[in-house]
Structure 1
Amino acid sequence: MCFAAGRAARRPAAQVPLPQTDGCTLAAPLTTLTDLPAFATASVDGWAVRGVPPWRVVGQALAGGVPPALTEDGTAMQIATGAMVPAGATSVLRIEESSRDTDGRVSGAPRPQPEWRVPGEEATVGEELLPAGTPVDPGVIGLAASCGYDSLPVHRQIRAALLVFGDELLTAGRPGAGRVRDALGPAVPAWLHRYGCELSPPAVTGPIADTLDAHVDGLRTALADADLVCTTGGTMHGPVDHLHPALRELGAEYVVNTVAVRPGFPMLLARVGASDGRQRFVAGLPGNPQSAIVALVSLVAPLVAGLQGRQAPTLPRHRLGAPVPGRGDFTHLALVRTDPLTGTAHPVPYTGSAMLRGLAAAAGFAVIPPGATGVPGDEVCVVPLPLLPGERPSAQLCGQPQRPAREPR
């Protein structure tokens, strides 16, 4: 539902200069414009030779030029790594395995395997290298450049902002005297960055006063620039919970309004129309820190993927290494760490909805369905915590359990 809402509201693709595409998403498959490599290139410094030794030196091949052909047997051309192999060459002899006689002729025994890269060795012209929906990172940028691209069709990063609600929050110093330290204001922008969002300045606003007018003004200001505004706290219906009335004031439409999950059930996602015709979104994260992160992985992650034109998130599966309790009629998202050697997931301690100690040691949330408990050995989906942009998870997709890593032979 959240992914579909994001997909429907994503911006049109734009042609963006290659150096500016980091963090964007490919809007079309990346295909090769030429063979890779486009021509035979020497992989060592040495001699391009024709025929049998000794070879008479007739020239030099350097990177960046087109050397003349070797047209006669018994001739050689000095060649640098990366240089185009001259037409007519039958071998490349490594410089350290060659010798020269008093007449300057070259001798040596070329290795049996070619010492050059063959055209199309990496890819052939028109071959699809990456599908549409691939996040662009420095590796993708380098690959595109090697194919000859100067720009790419991409979906740009979405802009996100955070509003912090709660008169009881401190933004600095030690908690006490009825005031608690705001843990989400510093943390949520970092999570959003890991989902590939661009933070709209100011990245964090608040704490915003516990009044309806302040909530409406804060949301309206943030939505003027951001595609997605996350809020913390105020998602219930208590005397100072003003998010729902503020959303009504803005004419928002709910995409999700509470979820049967523990922790984090009072999460919400709403869409707000704008005068420019584009839809913006408000993600209401509960005030308890772990509940807020559950909302991020449950609502924000698929929404952002849709807005960015990426693939819908898929969940790795792990076997439970210890029991995990159920939460009755609710889905239980239980914090776990994962063991890359055994592929197992183990619950971590300190996982109350207001606690962060367990979260700091976890890799994600094991999904325990309603009416069930987690038994050691059960295969369960794990909702991963987001990685840094460009990091690639090693986990297999949902439906394929993790296997223990094998030692290289």
Structure 2
Amino acid sequence: MNATGWHQARQCAREAGGPLPAVEVPLGEAAGCALAKPLVALSPLPAYDAAAMDGYAVAGIGPWHLAGRILAGDADPPAPLSPGQAMEIGTGALVPAGADAVLPYEQSTRTGRTVTGRLSPGRHIRRRGEDCPAGQEVLAAGTVVTSAVLGLAAGLGHDTLPVHRRPRAAMVVTGAELRTSGIPAAGQVRDAIGPMLPGLIRAAGADPAWTARVTDRHAALVDALHRPDAEVLVVCGATSAGAADHLRGALDTLGARVPVRGVACRPGHPQLLAVLPDGRFVVGLPGNPYAALVAALTLLCPLLGRLAGRGEPPVLTARLAGPVAPHERDTRLVPVALSGSRALPVGHDRPGSLRGAAAADALAVVPPGWTGGEVELLPLSP
């Protein structure tokens, strides 16, 4: 079967599944999830006319007679002000009815019970609902819940949020030559893909579920793929057609549907996307670390983002500035550092080396036959 085009493969991964069911969780548990429903203001923001500065709430034209003091959190509402009156006020306190402005301390002079200063009508009062009224939709469904979103939700009166359940992604690492610690001996290599994947999985909106390390045997891989406690199984290595590459045969044994059997990109060509009969997904990554990173950004991250209910990410572009030779048939993924509107290739982009990617801000997507100009960017997640 011919390799799938790079853009087509990403779209296929994005459309392979749908968002997982919605759950209602406390604010403290929603970080990193995607909103299952729009975020709506339960109360206006601000909820009342509030002082934006420390100073004096004043009514009418000065000088003003000081009538009292109010601080944020005071239980009793302040008495209304009449023209010529002022009330000392703290930031965030409820502004008395009748006040025309808040006169900051640094712009005022107080002599006994009299306050003078230059008035700017309407200044330094945050009016009820000026940011948004109650009932207004503030954020769309699919928005990722960040720390700022959590603070906004709390300010709008929410104690819980409806979010999509985060998918679970398990890692099946193959390769008898891999070592997980120390300096490898001759014929051995350190596993670079296993430590790299959990951060990519979390950044895409999912949770790492478990890791299995299996020998280069067909039966061992079939057994690992039978584990049901993850929506996505990420197989590292075993995707090509060599004597130790058993993933394609294991998928045939399990009766999987394989919509992507290789992607026309460099590096990362021998990657795949499969759907098991029970609906679980399998993403096959090449065994070379940089090729595996490219494959993860091509198939795994779009799939996980969709299952997590995240909206379609924006397309980022930059002008590629540097000596890059396009491939005649395949899309190239080139590590770049961003400088203003330019993307500068950093080199060290062989399939087996992560040195270039580690020094880069993004991967530039260089289409076949590229002749210059702007290219699409894939940001490199932490």
Q: Does 1:196 align with 2:205?
A: yes
Q: Is 1:3–1:303's contact at 8 Å kept on the other side of the alignment?
A: yes
TM-score (norm 2): 0.90
Tell me, what secondary structure is at the counterpart of 2:93?
coil
Counterparts of 1:48 and 1:336, CA distance in 2: 55
Q: How does 1:15-94 map to 2 (within 5 A)?
A: 15-64=24-73, 65-94=75-104
Within 2, Cα distance between the matches of 1:94 and 1:171?
62
DSSP-derived class of the 1:205 partner: strand
- Give the distance between the partners of 1:292 and 1:71, measured in 2 at CA: 69
CA distance in 2, matches of 1:99, 1:135: 48
Deviation at 1:306, TM superposition (A): 1.1
Correspondence for 2:194 among 172, 182, 185: 185
Aligned to 1:326: 326
The equivalent residue for 2:247 is 243
115, 123, 138: which one aligns with 2:132: 123
| CA displacement, residues 378-406 of structure 1 (integer Å, 9 cap, x when unaligned) | 222122222x4xxxxxxxxxxxxxxxxxx
Q: Partner of 1:14: helix, strand, or coil?
A: strand
Judged with a 3 Å threshold, the aligned counterparts in structure 2 of structure 1 residues 363 and 73 are, in CA distance, closer, same or farther, namely: closer
C-alpha distance in 2 between matches for 1:131 and 1:67: 36
- Determine which of 206, 220, 227 is the counterpart of 2:231: 227
Instruction: Identify if the C-alpha distance between structure 1 residues 220 and 110 changes in structure 2 by more than 3 Å, giving closer, same or farther.
Output: farther
Letter aligned with residue 352 of structure 1: R
- 1:107 paired residue number: 115
Give the match for residue 284 of structure 1. 284
- Distance in structure 2 (CA, Å) of the matches to 1:22 and 1:59: 43
1:77-108 C-alpha deviation (Å, 9 max, x unpaired): 2322101101122332334554554xx42221
In the alignment, which residue of structure 1 is the partner of 2:259? 255
In structure 1, distance between residues paired with 2:144 and 2:80? 45
Partner Cα separation in structure 2 for residue 155 and residue 48 of structure 1:
46
1:219 maps to a residue whose letter is: L
Partners of 1:52 and 1:313 lie apart in 2 by 53
Q: Distance in 2 between matches of 1:254 and 1:69?
A: 72
Q: Give the 3 Å change call, closer, same or farther, for CA 76–264 of structure 1 in structure 2.
A: same
Shift of 1:268: 0.6
Task: Using the TM superposition, give the Cα deviation of residue 271 of structure 1 relative to its aligned residue in structure 2, in angstroms.
Answer: 1.6
| 3 and 62 in structure 1: CA distance in 2 versus 1, 3 angstrom threshold | same
Deviation track 1:227-283 (CA, whole Å, cap 9, x = no partner) reads: 212111000122221112222333322131111112111101112243xxxx32111
Q: Give the C-alpha shift of residue 69 in structure 1.
A: 2.9
Q: Tell me how large the CA RMSD over aligned residues is.
A: 2.0
Counterpart of 2:155 in 1: which secondary structure?
Answer: helix
Matches within 5 A, 1:166-185: 166-185=175-194
Evaluate the alpha carbon distance shift between residue 66 and residue 117 of structure 1 in structure 2; reply closer, same or farther with a 3 A threshold. farther
**Partner Cα separation in structure 1 for residue 78 and residue 377 of structure 2:** 60
Q: Distance in 2 between matches of 1:210 and 1:98?
A: 79
User: What per-residue deviation string (whole Å, max 9, x for no partner) do you get for residues 190-228 of structure 1?
Assistant: 22222222121x3x322x11112211222223xx22221
TM-score w.r.t. the length of structure 1 is: 0.84
What residue is the counterpart of 1:2 in the other structure? 13
Q: Please point out which of 375, 381, 384 is paired with 2:379.
A: 384
Tell me by how many angstroms 1:289 deviates.
Answer: 0.9
2:274 to 270, 281, 285: 270
Where does the alignment leave 5 or more consecutive residues of structure 2 unmatched? 1-11
Q: Aligned partner of 1:135: which letter? A: V
Instruction: Give the conservation status (yes or no) of the 8 Å contact 1:53–1:106.
Output: no
Aligned residues of 1:160 and 1:229 also touching (Cα < 8 A): yes
- Match of residue 296 from structure 2: 296
For the 8 Å contact 2:192–2:289, the answer to whether it is kept is yes
Cross-structure match for 1:369: 367
Q: How far 1:356 sits from its partner (Å)?
A: 1.5
Q: Deviation at 1:328?
A: 2.4
Percent identity (aligned): 44
SS in 1 for 2:226: helix
Distance 1:287 1:107, change over 3 A: same
Q: Tell me, yes or no, if the aligned pair for 2:81 and 2:96 is still in contact at 8 Å.
A: no
Q: Show CA shifts across 1:302-322 (max 9, x none).
A: 111211111223431111212
Counterpart AA for 1:5: A
1:99 and 1:385 map into 2 onto residues whose CA distance is 55
Q: Among residues 212, 236, 260, which one is paired with 1:205 in the alignment? A: 212
Match of 1:351 among 336, 344, 349: 349
Q: In the alignment, is residue 217 of structure 1 matched against residue 223 of structure 2?
A: yes
SS at match of 2:284: strand
Report the alpha carbon displacement of residue 5 of structure 1 after superposing the two structures with TM. Answer: 1.0
Q: Distance in 2 between matches of 1:364 and 1:47?
A: 51
Residue segments in structure 1 that go unaligned for 5+ positions in a row: 389-409
